[in-house]
Chains A and B, each alone.
Chain A
Amino acid sequence: MSKHALRIAFVVASVVLMAGVGFVLKAQLIPKSFGLYGPYRADAIDEEAQRVLKHGTNASCFGCHQYEATIHLKGNHKTISCEFCHGTYSDHIKNGKKIANLPVKKGTEITTLCLRCHNTEIKARSTMVIKTVGIQDHLKKQNVKLTHTCNQCHHVHAPLKYINEAKKITGLMEVKP
């Protein structure tokens, strides 16, 4: 083989080699699912879909807490999520077993929690949507101590439960106009 032909062979061989290395690198560096739907890694969609659930639904709580369910579902608070006040499902249950107790709000914590929604001082709340009170006015009007917390009169799961029961017993049930 002449020197010239050897040189050409060397150039061709090196081009083939570099192309081969390029293809191998390209195949291995680009993620497998890249470009399946577009210029991104399609597996990221499934990875996002498999993220751990933290919140369940109210029904997932009522599966075990049936007594609370009967009260909660009858009252005006039936649309409130259990997990907002008590904490998330995943903090309580893992693989179908209880792993920890969720905290129960007590005392002034409850008042603060109630006033997140029911504070009349925040004017943006439509009366069509929610019944609001000025807490101090309300306590004065009901002739109770100003240190009373909401849950001393209102059942937190069904706010009018005790009040309606008391009215029935005392015969003071208001006739709705």
Chain B
Amino acid sequence: MIIKDFKVNKSCVNEQLILSDEKFPLDMDKRDFIKKVLKGAIAGSLFLVFPMDTTGGGNFDKNSTLKDGISTFDPTIKLPEEIPEIRDRQYDIYKQNFAFIVDITRCIGCGSCCVADKREYNVPDGNYRTWVERYIKDFDDQVYVDCPNGGLDGYQKPRTDIPLNARDTFFVPKLCNMCKEAPCVQVCPVGATFISPDGFILMDSDRCVGCAYCIQACPYSARFLNPITKTAEKCTWCYHRVRKGLLPACVEVCPTGARKFGSLNDENSEVYKILKGPGVLTVLKQSMGTLPALYYMGQRLEVV
């Protein structure tokens, strides 16, 4: 019995020895691993040094080119200029002044703007760059707000889950307010979002690390984290369209003219006339001091 036990123990020791012999190549693997990591780090830093050409890679539409700040167009695309004095001339980024006006009294809640926005940017389901809220106010001053699927499917049915003594109902389209004192820009730790000199708050998705700080900072909930790219996204007032002299997609498709966009440098534009005129214009959450460039007409006090 004892001898047998001894043998067993011995074989165990041998096995352990063999195992430790086999561990030696593992150590070699570690070295290889470290070498590979170092090589990878060097290669990666080289990629940083020589960044891949993002403009010539066919990522952008070949029909529209932007060289030296002048946007030119392929004449086969028949797109008339909707914002004057932008196309085919030097874009002076410091001298631009745009405004967006939403006329609540004209909004019928059709959701065209939401559909156009989703199509223009291929916005993932469940996220909205712009959306339309439905407000119902009853005679007890109780306010009911809903927004099924961001207004993408329109409002086909009236609300049945609330008392029927509604006194005022209206739709409120929401989008980025393009604040002059933007909280989202202040909090971004990597400079991925910024106020461009022409007043647009844009995202640099190459630099965004997806920390979602800006999403929490935005008082208007205009931002979201794209579940595919894991970077923050927001309404840009269709900056790419504006720079080509076109209206934003939501303004383009609005059937009632509830959304108005234009340059304040152009004295014939509708927004210039409205802003210069005597009508009452309000902004959302004025007390927060964000100074939005998005104005509302016919806004009720209850809207936040």
Contacts and interface: CB of A to CB of B under 8 A. Distances in A.
Interface string B109-151: 1111001100111000000000000110000000000000000
A88 B61 CA distance: 15
Interface residues of A, number: 51
A55 B120 contact: yes
Interface residues of B: mostly helix, strand, loop or mixed? Answer: loop
A81 B195 CA distance: 31
B241 interface: yes
A122 B109 contact: yes
Contact of B64 (A34, A48, A50, A96): A50
A79 B169 contact: no
Nearest to B194: A40
Contact of B55 (A50, A54, A124): A50
A80 B206 contact: no
Nearest to B79: A60
B112 A84 contact: yes
Contact of A115 (B116, B156, B193): B156
A45 B70 CA distance: 13
Given A39-B194, A79-B255, A129-B108, A122 B116 contact: no
Contacts of A53: 61, 63-64, 240-241, 244, 246
Given A47-B55, A53-B241, A125 B207 contact: no
Contact of A37 (B158, B196, B207): B196
B239 interface: yes
Interface string B242-265: 011011010011011100000000
A117 B191 CA distance: 42
